[in-house]
Amino acid sequence: MASGFFAILDDVAALLDDVAAMSKIATKKTAGILGDDLAVNAEKASGFVSQRELPVLWAITKGSLLNKIIILPIAFLLSAFLPWAVTLVLVLGGIYLAFEGAEKIYEFFVPHEHEHVTADIEPMTKEEILALEKTKVKSAIVTDFILSIEIVIIALGAVISEPLLTQILVVSVVALLATVGVYGIVALIVRMDEFGTRLINLNEEDDSVSDKIGHFFVSALPKVIKGLSVVGTIALLLVSGGIFVHNIDLLHHLLPNVPGIIVEFLVGLVIGFVALLLFKGMKKLFRK
């Protein structure tokens, strides 16, 4: 009986080793989309009253965890009964990622015209502020739901050939790490200006060391968010291109003498702009 117990322990240890190794691989594959997830959520979680930033971020984090709870069982059912559907969803998700990356590039070079509001804006009541906050939280959770689907499917695609139990453990670990890691970093980012303000107010001296460091953190926040947006856009095209190259035989041996990262970026860029042109064409068609 003792030998059987230790055999079980060996099996569990081997399974945990496999899960750890596979989780590392799956996390690397989702790293690109996590960059975009981080940029999007940092932007959505900023702009609130200082005292409300962390409560708002916690509300979004709870919504993100609920999103994962909804998505994970559906993904595992597809893997168990319709494994081909995982690849299909992966490719469709890749098209969405490529489209999103191309759209960001398009909007950078062809910015939208914004309407200028000249009317006087009255101070908002507490109820109106809370209602606006609730609306922004819902918007952030919806965006997180889309990104969570992409993260789960990409992670699942990395372990699709493994036993179902390994898939469940690995993808669940990646999903949890994604939520904790992304929103933990977002919390640090959105509080960067608050930390800087406290350093500035630390003493009454002008141009002190704490003032310089504080002003650096305050001025760095918008630049950090903008930088994350640029990195996230590049990551979107790389991740989507990698999905196409590794799951579509026609593209798998495309440009064999060119480095893989360049091929993946170009494939993601081309498919993204094709999807963007089709979207804009369909939009104009329906308007007519």
For the cut 70, the answer to whether the pLDDT of residue 116 exceeds it is no
Contacts by 142-145 with C-beta closer than 8 Å and gap 24+? 143/40, 143/41, 143/44, 144/37, 144/41, 144/60, 144/63, 144/64, 144/67, 145/67, 145/70, 145/71
Residue 276: pLDDT band (50, 70, 90) is very high
Q: Provide CB contacts within 8 A for 22, sequence distance 6+.
A: 158, 159, 162, 166, 170
In single-letter form, the type of residue at position 276 comes to L
**pTM for the whole structure:** 0.70
* pLDDT level of residue 49 (50, 70, 90 thresholds): low
Greater confidence (162 vs 278) lies with 278
Half-sphere exposure of residue 71, counting CA atoms within 13 Å on the CB side?
26
Task: Give 130 or 26, the one with higher predicted confidence.
Answer: 130
Joined together, the tokens standing for residue 62 give 């709870």
C-alpha neighbours within 13 Å on the C-beta side of residue 69: 6
Range of the structural domain that residue 186 is part of: 2-113+120-287
Predicted confidence band of residue 18 (pLDDT cuts 50, 70, 90): low
For 133-149, what is the mean pLDDT? 81
Residue 233 has pLDDT above 70, yes or no: yes
For residue 182, the model assigns a pLDDT of 82
Q: Which residue has the tokens 């970026």?
A: 265
Sign of the C-alpha dihedral, residues 113, 119, 125, 128?
A: negative
State the average pLDDT over residues 154-160. 79
For position 53, what pLDDT does the model report?
73
Report d(CA 109, CA 111) in Å as an integer.
Answer: 6
What is the tally of structural domains in the chain?
1
Residue 2: pLDDT band with limits 50, 70, 90: very low
